[in-house]
Amino acid sequence: MNPSENNSDRDLWREVIHAYRFPCVMFALAIIPGLNFTYSGHGGISWFVVPLCFPWVILRALIRITKGSEASRRWYKNFFRVTIPSYIALALPLSLAATTSIRMTFGLPISTWSFFAIMVSPFPWWYFMWK
C-alpha cells in the first residue's frame, strides 16, 4: 500500500467526522434512551438545535470548497458530492430509530418523516405550515 493512499483514507475519515459530527451527536442524543431527555415534549432544547444540522453541513461544505488550492477545492467538491446524499440516505433509518426511542421514552408522537425533514432540510419550512 502506498503511504499516500493511507494518508488520503485518514483524511477522508477525518473530514467525515469534522463535517458530520454535529448531526451525528444530535442523532445519538435522540436515539440513546438515557440521553434523549433533550428531546422531551416539555422544553427539550434539542428541538431548537436540530434544524441547524443540515445548514451546519452546507456551511462546512461552502467554507471547504471556497478556501484552499484548486486541488483541495476539487477534492472537497467530490467529497461533498458523495457524502451529502449519503447523509440524507442514512438520515431516514436514523430518524426512525430516533422517533421510536423518543416515543418509547416520553410517549411523544413524532412522525419519522417530520424528524427526517428537520434533519435534512436547510430551511425549517414545516414550522410555518398550518394544520
Domain ranges of the chain: 3-123
Confidence of residue 126 (pLDDT cuts 50, 70, 90): low
- Can you give the pTM of this predicted structure? 0.81
Confidence of residue 10 (pLDDT cuts 50, 70, 90): low
Over residues 18-60, the pLDDT tens digits come to 999 999 999 999 999 888 888 887 778 888 888 899 999 999 9
Cβ(46)–Cβ(22) under 8 Å? no
pLDDT beyond 70 at 75:
yes
Which position has the grid cell 430516533?
98
Residues listed for the chain:
131
Nearest to 38 by CA among 22, 51, 24, 49: 49
> Mean pLDDT in the chain?
84
pLDDT (average), residues 62-82:
91
Cβ(50)–Cβ(26) under 8 Å? yes
Confidence of residue 123 (pLDDT cuts 50, 70, 90): low
Nearest to 51 by CA among 129, 122, 101: 122
Q: State the pLDDT at residue 4.
A: 45
Nearest to 116 by CA among 85, 86, 84, 94: 94
Cβ(39)–Cβ(30) under 8 Å? yes
pLDDT beyond 60 at 14:
yes
Confidence of residue 9 (pLDDT cuts 50, 70, 90): low
Q: At 37, is the secondary structure helix, strand, or coil?
A: helix
